[in-house]
Amino acid sequence: MSNLIPPHGGKGLTICLLEGAALDEEKKKAEGLKKVPVSPRVKGDLIMIGIGGFSPLTGFMTKADWQGVCDKFLTADGTFWPVPVTLDVTKEDAEGIGEGDEIALYDPEGDEIMATMKVTEKWALTADEKKFECEKVFMGEGTPTTEEFWKIAEEDHPGVQMVMEQKEVNLAGPVKVLSEGEYPTKYAGIYHRPEESRKIFEEKGWSEVAALQLRNPMHRSHEYLCKIAVEVCDGVYIHSLVGNLKPGDIPADVRVECIDALVKNYFVDANVVQGGYPLDMRYAGPREGLLHSVFRQNYGCSRMIIGRDHAGVGDFYGMFEAQTIFDKIPVPEEPGKALACIPLKIDWTFYCFKCDGMASMRTCPHGKDDRVLLSGTMLRKMLSEGDELPDHFGRDEVIAILRNYYEGLTEKVEIKTHKAATGD
């Protein structure tokens, strides 16, 4: 009997990834089906459905699911879910596909059939419905009115751009996943299925596990958050996104190298596990913080570290809105359908010269001039421009890896700072 938190949804891990003879048989069948290309975002979602990371989902959402998730944080069957997981295709690719038909989902970048799908519903979103999704999922306290939100969202919010640019038709239905793409080989030893991370935690004797979400290289603040978690839990799971980011973000292999250097030199190895997962960022701030908690529960984590501006972009969200949203979400009557992975809420952390160490707004009485305010965005901006970093901004081993990466770039991407990055 496992002492770890049960997977989300009350059905255990719902694994749709085929193996062995069933995989061989389905691959043969897939060759004779209509091929429908999928985007990188859909590919990541598909793999997470396959490996049980999105339990209890077994396929892409219906319009009723979409409506319920946007409006009430609930799928049509009453399961808590914070962000739509939909499959959009062009009108041309959807032509001739009817309800009950089977299709092959094809990754054009990898030139590979990723899955088969039995279509249960074809549905569309009007422009107004796409705007409704954006306002529900991406509009935060940083832009308190819809008018302010739409003044900047379509130009400055990558998640909004993704939704507004979705193709004309959505397909819903269960999937049989045939491949995990490049992730098991490209990130061997880092990329985990939920059943693998759970096995690691169980072998270590852990029951209370905290997850740290990473899309930036680990700086001193991330390190401090992890060490707080290690003090109150059995261990911490440093879980990096290895899917697609926005231009200017640092690629996964560089971030993994930085984490390796930190863990090797500054952590007790027995209390830390590093892993990777295949999603693209949605930059949905508070809602994405909830999604991170949902799938970390599936990976075996009972706590989700939520700090300042979690999964944010620009100034769209309030500084700690990703913490307070956990106090406002619905709690379904069926316990298994409720979110069980709870937040580990930590205040803004930084290095303070007067405290002579890492501290937070809750522990440090000093002023802004005494603090090295740490931000992944600011770190990337300063390194990309060749600026000297303040003392205690990052560990020397990590800074050396990042400088080497930036010196090798032939094209620079402008990195915009925002209030959460500058301390304003």
Query: How many CA atoms does the CB half-sphere of 419 hold within 13 Å?
Result: 11
CA dihedral for 64, 147, 311, 227, sign (positive or negative): negative
Position 222 in a domain: yes
Same domain, 117 and 195: no
State the CATH number of the domain containing residue 100: 3.10.400.10
pLDDT at 246: 67
pLDDT at 411: 67
Same domain, 83 and 195: no
Same domain, 343 and 311: yes
Q: Kind of pairing, strands 303-306 and 209-214?
A: parallel
User: Nearest Cα to 142, choosing from 7, 344, 322?
Assistant: 322
Please name the residues in contact with 404: beta carbons below 8 A apart, sequence gap of 6 or more: none
Enclosing domain of residue 236: 184-422
Same domain, 188 and 116: no
Position 138 in a domain: no
pLDDT at 48: 98
CA dihedral for 332, 333, 334, 339, sign (positive or negative): positive
Same domain, 60 and 93: yes
pLDDT at 387: 81
Give 235's strand partners: 209
Same domain, 43 and 191: no
pLDDT at 303: 98
Same domain, 172 and 226: no
pLDDT at 423: 46
Could you give the 3-state DSSP secondary structure of residue 191? strand
State the CATH number of the domain containing residue 348: 3.40.50.620
For residues 34 and 112, is the Cβ–Cβ distance under 8 A?
no
Position 8 in a domain: no
Q: Which amino acid is at 386?
A: G
Same domain, 105 and 252: no
Same domain, 171 and 221: no
C-alpha 68: how far from its chain's center? 21
Q: Say if residue 147 is exposed, middle or buried (CB neighbours under 10 Å; 0-12, 13-18, 19+).
A: exposed
Q: Where are the beta strands (DSSP E) in 108-233?
A: 112-118, 121-123, 169-177, 209-214
Position 303 in a domain: yes
pLDDT at 416: 56
Domain end (from 117, 145, 179) = 179
pLDDT at 422: 44
Radius of gyration (C-alpha) of the chain in whole angstroms: 21
Q: Annotated active-site positions, please?
A: 215-216
What is the four-CA torsion angle of 209, 214, 219, 224, rounded to 10 degrees?
Answer: -20
Position 193 in a domain: yes
Q: Per the structure, how many domains does the chain have? A: 2
Using 50 as the pLDDT threshold, list the residues of the chain that sit under it: 420-424
Could you give the 3-state DSSP secondary structure of residue 99? coil
pLDDT at 362: 94
Q: How far apart are CA 309 and CA 421, in angstroms?
A: 9
- pTM value surpassing 0.75: yes
Position 379 in a domain: yes
Same domain, 235 and 118: no
For residues 229 and 87, is the Cβ–Cβ distance under 8 A?
no
pLDDT at 139: 97
Same domain, 171 and 205: no
Same domain, 35 and 58: yes
Could you give the 3-state DSSP secondary structure of residue 230? helix
Domain end (from 179, 207, 225) = 179
pLDDT at 380: 74
3-state helix, strand, coil in the chain (%, to 5): 40, 20, 45
Could you give the 3-state DSSP secondary structure of residue 384? helix
